Chain A
Amino acid sequence: MAGPLLLLGPQRPTPNVAEALARVGGEGPVVTITAGWRLDEGELGALHGVIGPDAVHLPLYQWFEECMEQMPETRAMYKVRQAQLIRLKRVYRERLHRALEAVRELILQRDDHPEILNPQLEWALDDVRRIDQQFVDQSRAIFHTYPEVGRPWELDQVAERRKQSAALLSNARAVVIAGGHVAVLRNRMMFFGVHQQLYQAWAQHTGVVAWGAGSMLLTDRIVLFYDDPPDGPSHPEILDTGLALLQDTVILPDAVKRLRLDDRMRVALLAGRFKPNLALGMENGAWLELEDGRLVQKGTKGSALLLQADGRVVPLEEAD
């Protein structure tokens, strides 16, 4: 039976990770993963202060930098692959933009002739979902095109560190994955194969506690979002697949700040696009626990928000 899985809201201003960890229980160290903080990965004072003396850090960002220094060929190949992914992302955004504009237009018109426009709207959303899926599929294909960097943990320089991470995770009572840069966090975990180790540890009762980018990573699909970027309007987009400890859920940290939740059209578009997945906004104080396949709110009321396809936003505990 898998260990506890706890998704928290952002830890500012009031952290609840210590409280959540107490709920996890068990014995052994608490492994922290903060690769999403990038250069600040090692600045653990505040986090380890909250967790206590059991905290042990897994320095994936630092390890990655060291490996790249030691493996110039891999680094070069890595860059080539990243360039390919950037090209793909550019095309994906162009297609997505057009498809989402079509959906938006249909939502605006649908009250006039719902009998005609509702099916059209659903098909238009299917188009968007198809574009999302094709992007994910092609990303995977690009990864497989570069086997040298596709399974880096099989390389000697990486394998040694991978052993260290395996030893740490296998003894841990819990793994804490902090927020930060979600792509960096994901890439560093994947690079060292820590995603597999984490899954195994979780399957063998290790608790997993995550927030922000860490919680997004635990789902099967990572969605990037921000409604008011400085560079003009933007649409939520898929980053990539996640670790899939939690299925059928899109996690949206800090949704109140990052999304225009009072804009029913935007909410409807976001929730409708990812249906049947739950689109969950996570605010400070949120604490969701996976129980019998369902997410149960154990934190502050109103801090986990369900975005609905009708454009409404309701506290998770009040949702049907």
Chain B
Amino acid sequence: MKVIDLIEAIREEPTRAEALLDAFVAAHQFPLVEGDTATFFFYDGKPAKGVNLMHWVFGLETRQPFQRILGTEAFYLPLELPHRARVEYKFELLRGGHRRWIRDPLNDRRAFDPFGSNSVCPMPGYEHPTWIHPEPGCRRGSVESFKFRSEIWTDEREVTMYLPNEYKAHKKYPLLVCHDGGDYRKFAEMVEVLDNLIHRREVRPMVVAWTDGHNRNPEYGANPRQADFLVNELLPQVRERYGVTHDPLETGCMGASFGAVSSLYAAWQHPGVFGKLLLQSGSFVFTDIGHHGRSALFDPVVAFVNQYREEPERIGTPRIYMSCGVFESLIQFNRALVPLMRQSGLRVRFSEAQDGHNWIAWRDRLREGLCWLYPGHLWMWYD
């Protein structure tokens, strides 16, 4: 049954509205998706003044009011969304003189991030990756941590290492340094992704060094101390303790949002150290004229990206994988950088996702990014 049929049924039999609503809710999965339209629906049987859809789709109004089904406490909102889109959202419930953000009580699909969780609306064509779940027969890598005192940050820093199942200390594995390591492991299932992709031989056996900022945004926002920390402290510490390559071509750096800025900035500050960059939803805000219109955290970022645009060749020739969601305000900045990078001689793969600035979007692009940067021998390998 469609919402329009429900409305018609309630109009014809208003005394049965509650029963009709209960039956409707029990019979459907929400949001209702038909073609390119998702209809969000709220009904919990209690009085409410109104409901708004809260989402982070750049280009649409962030707060979208639901319509009430006349004479009931049920609300709905049809919204046209692109094929393959994946939208995270919450409801803003106006009840008892208060506004409260809640997850969609009729939808148990959730996405988690450091701030909690959102409800998820996957549109037709969105493919839930198979390679994020532990695969049968997959030989798992190991995860271990070490700490060292950073002279640059004047405190103790922890690095968490991913070692492939076949790891042997005397070998020299490709290395990837990853910002926001804890979040990549927790919200982007990066350990399982690495296990599976290595097991499938889609990426080469590799070592990952996950790092986390102690004061994230100021540290990651084009901060020379962070660049020095990565190159002069973290890399030597990792290379001293583990069987990893010293070859810049096989050494990579990655991150999302400000983590992507930090990765590109480190490569810019220290050309020739990182031969591979995996940049997800980089906060690469730049200006042609005037103020950038964002918070002061972006000041050094904008200054750096403006400088980068002036002198893109300074970075050397790393191979780059970039991704960004089309529902992000950052999409235009990322799109604009790609031709610039290519013109400066870089090999860049750029992937646009029908998604937003979130960990699931970054998780979903890991396979493509890692396979582009560290391709395995799958095509040639036959056990």
Whether A272 is near chain B, meaning CB under 8 Å from some CB there, is: no
Q: How far is the CB of A42 from chain B (nearest CB, A)?
A: 12
B137 touches A13 (CB 8 A): yes
Question: A253, B383: Cβ atoms under 8 Å?
Answer: yes
Q: Assuming A12-B137, A13-B137, A40-B166, is B371 touching A231 (CB within 8 A)? A: yes
Q: Which residues of A contact B (CB under 8 A)?
A: 10-13, 36, 39-40, 179-184, 211-213, 216, 224, 226, 229-231, 234, 239, 253-254
> Are B166 and A224 closer than 8 Å at their CB atoms?
no
Q: Verify if B379 is at the interface (C-beta below 8 Å from A).
A: yes
Q: Taking A13-B137, A39-B171, A231-B371 as contacts, is the C-beta distance between A182 and B382 under 8 angstroms?
A: yes
- The count of A-to-B residue pairs whose CB atoms sit within 8 angstroms is 51
CB distance from A92 to the nearest CB of B (A): 14
B381 within 8 A of A: yes
B380 within 8 A of A: yes
Q: How far apart sit A253 and B382, CA to CA, in the bound complex (Å)?
A: 6
Contact B382 A180 (CB under 8 A): yes
Q: A226 contacts B379, CB within 8 Å?
A: yes
Residue of B nearest to A9 (CB): B383
Please give, as numbers and ranges, the residues of chain B lying within 8 Å of A10 by CB-CB distance: 383
On chain B, the residues within 8 Å of A183 by CB distance are 380
- Chain A to chain B contacts (Cβ below 8 Å), 17 pairs: A12-B137, A12-B383, A40-B166, A180-B383, A181-B377, A181-B380, A181-B381, A182-B380, A182-B381, A182-B382, A212-B383, A216-B382, A224-B379, A229-B202, A229-B378, A229-B379, A239-B380
Report yes or no: A230 in contact with B202, Cβ–Cβ below 8 A: yes
Q: Which of A13, A182, A231 has the largest number of chain B CB atoms within 10 A?
A: A231
Nearest Cβ in chain B — how far from A242, in angstroms?
12
A230 near B171 (CB under 8 angstroms)?
no
Residues of B within 8 A of A212 (CB): 382-383
> Once the chains are docked, how many angstroms separate the CA of A224 from the CA of B378?
10
Taking the closest CB of chain B, its distance from the CB of A309, in whole angstroms, is: 23
Cα(A211)–Cα(B383), bound, Å? 7
Q: Which residues does chain A contribute within 8 Å of B383, judged by CB atoms?
A: 10-12, 179-180, 211-213, 253-254
Query: Closest Cβ of chain A: how far from B64's Cβ, in Å?
Result: 35
* Bound CA–CA A12/B136 (angstroms): 12
- In this assembly, does B18 line the interface, its C-beta being within 8 Å of a C-beta of chain A? no
A179–B382 CB distance below 8 A: yes
Instruction: Say whether, besides A13-B137, A39-B171, A231 and B372 are in contact (CB < 8 Å).
Output: yes
The distance from the CB of B2 to the nearest CB of chain A, in whole angstroms, is 33
Nearest Cβ on chain B to A301's Cβ, whole angstroms: 21
Q: Which residue of B lies closest to A239 (CB)?
A: B380
Contacts of A230 in B (CB 8 A): 197, 202, 367-368, 371, 378
Partner of A254, one of B171, B368, B382: B382
A10→B201 CA distance, assembly (Å): 15
Q: Which residues of A contact B382 (CB under 8 A)?
A: 179-180, 182, 212-213, 216, 253-254
| Shortest distance from the beta carbon of A73 to any chain B beta carbon, whole Å | 24
Q: How far is the CB of B380 from chain A (nearest CB, A)?
A: 5
A229 proximity list for chain B (CB < 8 A): 202, 378-379
Report B349-383 residues with CB < 8 Å from chain A CB. 367-368, 371-372, 377-383
Q: Kindly state the separation between the CA atoms of A181 and B383 in the bound complex, as whole angstroms.
A: 8
* Smallest CB-CB A-B distances: 4 pairs: A230-B371, A212-B382, A213-B382, A179-B383
Check A213/B381 contact, CB under 8 A, given A12-B137, A13-B137, A230-B202.
Answer: yes
CA gap between A183 and B368 in the complex, in Å: 24
The docked-state distance in angstroms from the alpha carbon of A231 to that of B369 is: 10
Bound form: Cα–Cα A11–B382 in Å: 11
Bound: A26/B197 CA distance, A: 42
Min distance, Cβ A39 to any Cβ of chain B, angstroms: 7
A224 with B137, Cβ < 8 A, contacts A230-B202, A230-B368 known: no
Cα distance A201–B378 when bound, in Å? 31
Task: Tell me how far the C-beta of B192 lies from the nearest C-beta in chain A, rounded to whole angstroms.
Answer: 16
Chain B residues near A254 (CB-CB < 8 A): 382-383
Nearest Cβ distance between residue A118 and chain B, in whole angstroms? 32
In the docked arrangement, what's the CA distance between A211 and B382, Å?
Answer: 9
Cα(A182)–Cα(B380), bound, Å:
6
Identify the closest chain A residue to B378 (Cβ): A226
Contacts of A216 in B (CB 8 A): 382
Q: Closest residue to A230 on the B side, CB-wise? A: B371
Is A180 in contact with B381, judged by CB distance below 8 angstroms? yes
CA A231 to CA B379, docked complex, whole Å: 11
From A11, A182, A216, residue with most partner B Cβ within 10 Å: A182
Known: A229-B202, A253-B383. 19 other contacts (CB 8 A): A11-B383, A12-B137, A12-B383, A13-B137, A40-B166, A182-B380, A182-B381, A183-B380, A212-B382, A213-B381, A224-B379, A229-B379, A230-B197, A230-B367, A230-B371, A231-B368, A231-B371, A231-B372, A234-B379
Tell me which of B137, B202, B382 has the highest count of chain A C-beta atoms within 10 A of its own C-beta.
B382
Chain B, residues 309-341, CB within 8 Å of chain A (1/0): the string is: 000000000000000000000000000000000
Q: Could you tell me the distance in whole angstroms from the C-beta of B139 to the nearest C-beta in chain A?
A: 10
In the assembled complex, the Cα of A183 lies from the Cα of B377 at a distance in Å of: 10
Query: CA A318 – CA B381 in complex, angstroms?
Result: 29
